[in-house]
Structure 1
Amino acid sequence: MLDDIKALKEKIAQVNIADEKDLEAFRLEFLSRNGKIPAMFSRMGEVPNEDKAEVGRAMNEVKNFARETFETHKERLERKEEVILKATDDLSLPPAPCPTGSYHPLTQTLEEMKDIFYRLGFSIADGPEVEDDFHNFTALNFPPNHPARDEQDTFFIRKSDDPDIDDLVLRTHTSPVQIRLMQEKKPPIRTIMPGRVYRNEAVSPKSYFLFHQVEALYIDTDVSVAELKETLISFARLMFGSDVKYRLRPGYFPFTEPSLEMDIWWETNGEGRWLEILGSGMVDPNVLKAVDIDPEEYTGFAWGMGVERIALLRHQIDDIRIFYDNDIRFLKQFH
């Protein structure tokens, strides 16, 4: 019996299957109800009891071998048929649609802003989004009791009453990059700092708990407010057109003195109003002292502007939240 099983296995191994017809013939000869493998199992009654275990294992091995052979050739023929179909495709037919993606409108706006500042002579710097208290507040002249240091305004990663343990926060502005840059590099410095920032604010059509800023820093000898104003006006005209309607007004920030804010006239749905796009000013001498730059020798200006606000104005959008909804109907308009 074992010799018959061995001979059957050798015959299976020698079968040549070239097409679907050969595959079906193989199935009928070996695997069908009347095939040779079921017939072999029907002879188990002839096997002595002491040999049944060994013969049964041999029979199962041949049966599995036949099934694997069948499945292997079946898959091979299916792949071959697929290749043939592809090879005979009509190349004169138009291709299937292949939609392409595009930059998010915030990314598009940020890239435009970077290009403008490149033209104005600024380089680019980057820094971490998780900051310590010194870089995010102390070095920027925030007093210890300033509201920005409270949890209702700032997302804290670590907050401790131990003076030897520095608080960690999600940065509330990209100004900490200015501090790091001034610690690493001596003036002159003329750099922008684009990046994502976080504030613990209520979500509304005009505010969100995360947004993007582009801050700038220019430190050199004899830097004046007039240079600051001219730089801001140049940016507004390059970003919004030479006929843009803008205004500069006094402001207050802990890290600049004097300080200015810039507004752009914003019209949507037939109505218009002033919308603040940035805060700016001359770098406070205390900030320069915190990074060991002599305020008697160097002066400078800085500003921070929101990318979302610029995008709202550029595209006449009235709700900042739509930038984060991932609504494909909205995003497709910026393809």
Structure 2
Amino acid sequence: MSAPNKSYDPVEVTALRPEELDRARDDAIAAIAAASGLAELKEARIAHAGDRSPLALANREIGALPPAARAEAGKRIGAARGAVSQALKQRQAELEEERDQRVLVEEAVDVTLPWDRTPRGARHPLTTIQERMADVFVSMGFEVAEGPEVEAEWFNFDALNFKPDHPARTMQDTFFVESEDTGLVLRTHTSPVQVRSLLTRPLPVYVVAPGRTFRTDELDATHSPVFHQLEGLAIDEGLTMADLRGAIDAFVTGMFGAGLAVRMRPSYFPFTEPSAEVDMQCFVCRGASVERGAPPCRTCGSEGWIELGGCGMVNPRVLVAAGVDAERYSGWAFGLGVERTLMFRHGVEDMHDMVEGDVRFALPFGMEI
């Protein structure tokens, strides 16, 4: 093992010359200052402060110096490396601050804008009011019954005492599936659910059947080929028209408020006998618009009454068709228009608003469940 070289002059080593150290330091500081981003600063750190940087290589030459020369050389290199380290630290802080400020601008979220650019839908008011109408009868002990919209002609007509030559059975009033020979129709009313309920449920039967129905009507302000009905049926021993009148009174009170009169006018339906049309007193003017000099009422047309639907005692032939003993049981049925109720209750004047699907029509009614 050789002894230390005591005559080694650090000035003669190029990497340890003061001017070389100053140049390496200045180049490093210049490169650090020129870094425009954290990625460039990382490259400058590797090039000027890494293990293969000029200052790091110069630091390795100190070990070969005589002991007397090492201290001075170490101070010069330490001062240069310290200046580079300080420059790196300062530039790192500056670039991080710039990055954070840029992120705040580029990734800013304007919380005043709607977060959901797709407008929400709304529950259709026909659905809401149909359920509310059914709830009135459910509170009286009725059950909700359902049936198919594509119905057998027997359920839609024959079982309900519609004769084969009844006008409603023609193509002018009924949608037949493919042809009249199929025996399938789009139900023209929810009354077929009456027969299905009598065939499948034990007596007594108290049901309401809300649902969609179809007729070959033109779409205008007050008519639609697709509309909704709420059918009611009560079959028990000893039921009379008085019970029917009481149920209608309870419905009117539940939907339109207390104190409104109800009247029945004689009418005809094949599946009820006797039959009646049901009117309720106008809930806006309460009949006052018919008086001389009174302001007109748009809701009832100044007639004082609003037509609700049809009703009557179930025809014994319908009971027999469903296998019910007509001598022992009696009952009544009614049919109410859901669209009509919505138009009266909320002042809707055009049927187009209900069927065109414009969410602006449904939104004001809210999301009531």
* Same fold, judged at TM 0.5 (above): yes
Task: Name the SS of the counterpart of 1:216 in structure 2.
Answer: strand
Q: Which residue of 1 aligns with 2:219?
A: 203
Task: Name the SS of the counterpart of 1:272 in structure 2.
Answer: coil
Counterpart code for 1:148:
A
CA distance in 1, matches of 2:144, 2:206: 9
CA displacement, residues 238-279 of structure 1 (integer Å, 9 cap, x when unaligned)? 101113354221111000001111123554279434442211
Select 1:268's aligned residue among 298, 307, 325: 298
Alignment of 1:150-229 (within 5 A): 150-160=170-180, 167-229=183-245
Q: Which residue of 2 aligns with 1:96?
A: 114
Q: How many residues align?
A: 253
CA displacement, residues 158-200 of structure 1 (integer Å, 9 cap, x when unaligned)? 4345xxxx51100001111111111112310001011000001
Identity across the alignment (%): 42
Show structure 2 runs of 5+ residues with no match: 1-36, 44-99, 283-296
Shift, 1:94, TM fit: 5.9
Alignment of 1:21-100 (within 5 A): 21=39, 96-98=114-116, 100=120
Q: Which residue of 2 aligns with 1:45?
A: none
Select 2:356's aligned residue among 317, 325, 334: 325
Partners of 1:261 and 1:276 within 8 A in 2: yes
CA distance in 1, matches of 2:320, 2:300: 49
Q: Residues 286, 96 of structure 1: CA spacing in aligned structure 2 closer, same or farther, 3 A cutoff?
A: same
The structure where strand makes up a greater share of residues is: 1
Shift, 1:211, TM fit: 0.2
Partners of 1:285 and 1:295 within 8 A in 2: yes
Q: Which residue of 2 aligns with 1:280?
A: 311
Task: Point out the structure with max Rg over C-alpha.
Answer: 2
Scaled by the length of structure 2, the TM-score of the pair is 0.63
CA distance in 2, matches of 1:298, 1:20: 91
Q: Residues 169, 270 of structure 1: CA spacing in aligned structure 2 closer, same or farther, 3 A cutoff?
A: closer
Q: Which runs of 4+ in 1 moved over 6 A?
A: 88-91
Show structure 1 runs of 5+ residues with no match: 1-18, 26-80
CA distance in 2, matches of 1:252, 1:211: 22
CA distance in 2, matches of 1:270, 1:290: 39
Shift, 1:135, TM fit: 0.3
CA distance in 1, matches of 2:202, 2:39: 82
Q: Which residue of 2 aligns with 1:34?
A: none
Partners of 2:121 and 2:359 within 8 A in 1: no
Partners of 1:156 and 1:168 within 8 A in 2: yes
Partners of 1:158 and 1:167 within 8 A in 2: no
Task: Name the SS of the counterpart of 1:258 in structure 2.
Answer: strand
CA distance in 1, matches of 2:324, 2:184: 25
Shift, 1:312, TM fit: 0.4
* 2:141 pairs with 1:121: yes
